[in-house]
C-alpha cells in the first residue's frame, strides 16, 4: 500500500513538473511575441493578404535584375508559382498551390512587401512640389 501511494505521489509530482515546464515555455513564447510587436518587427505574413503580396511582386519584378545562372532555381520557382483552377467556380482558387515553388515565392513576396513599405515610409514616392513662380 505504501509503495502504491509513493508511486502515485511520484506520478503527480512528474505531472506538476511537466505543467510547470510547459507553462514556462508558453510564457517565454508570449514574451518573445510581445518584444517583436513592441519593437515593430512583427512578422510580415500576419500583416497582409496573399493577393496584396502577389501584386507587390508584380510591381517589384520589373525593377529587379537576376543573374540567370545563380538565380535559375529561384526564377523557375517564380515562373511556376500558381493557383489551381476550380471547375465548379470556373475561376482560379484564391490561395496558391503549396509545393516546392511556394517557399521561394513567399520569401520573394515578403521582400517585395518589405521594400515597398520602406519606400513608402521613406517618402521616396512623394510628389515633388515646385514653386509656382513664372507660370503663365
Quote the pTM value.
Answer: 0.51
Counting beta carbons within 10 angstroms of the beta carbon of residue 50, is it exposed (0 to 12), middle (13 to 18) or buried (19 or more)? middle
**Grid coordinates of 16:** 506538476
All structural domains of the chain with their residue ranges? 1-42, 45-122
Work out the angle between the directed axes of helices 72-80 and 100-122 (0-180°, nearest 10): 90
pLDDT digits (tens, 9 = 90+) for 101-111: 888 999 999 88
Confidence bin at 38 (pLDDT 50/70/90)? low
Q: CB 65: neighbour CB atoms within 10 A? A: 5
Q: Region 54-83: what's the mean pLDDT?
A: 89
pLDDT digits (tens, 9 = 90+) for 109-132: 988 888 877 666 666 556 667 667
Quote the pLDDT of residue 69: 92
Confidence bin at 45 (pLDDT 50/70/90)? very low
Give the C-alpha separation, 120 to 124, whole Å.
Answer: 6
Alpha helices in the chain (DSSP H): 2-38, 50-60, 72-80, 100-122
Q: Are 43 and 36 in contact (CB under 8 A)?
A: yes
Residue 80 Cα to chain centre, angstroms? 20
Per-residue pLDDT at 40 exceeds 60: no
Amino acid at each position: 500500500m505504501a509503495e502504491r501511494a509513493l508511486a502515485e505521489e511520484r506520478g503527480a509530482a512528474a505531472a506538476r513538473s511537466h505543467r510547470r515546464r510547459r507553462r514556462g515555455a508558453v510564457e517565454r513564447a508570449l514574451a518573445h511575441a510581445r518584444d517583436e510587436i513592441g519593437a515593430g518587427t512583427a512578422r510580415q505574413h500576419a500583416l497582409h493578404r496573399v493577393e496584396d503580396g502577389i501584386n507587390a511582386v508584380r510591381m517589384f519584378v520589373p525593377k529587379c535584375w537576376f543573374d540567370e545562372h545563380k538565380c535559375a532555381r529561384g526564377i523557375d520557382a517564380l515562373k511556376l508559382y500558381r493557383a489551381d483552377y476550380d471547375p465548379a467556380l470556373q475561376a482560379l482558387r484564391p490561395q496558391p498551390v503549396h509545393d516546392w515553388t511556394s517557399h521561394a515565392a513567399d520569401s520573394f513576396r515578403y521582400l517585395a512587401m518589405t521594400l515597398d513599405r520602406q519606400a513608402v515610409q521613406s517618402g521616396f514616392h512623394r510628389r515633388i512640389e515646385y514653386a509656382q513662380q513664372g507660370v503663365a
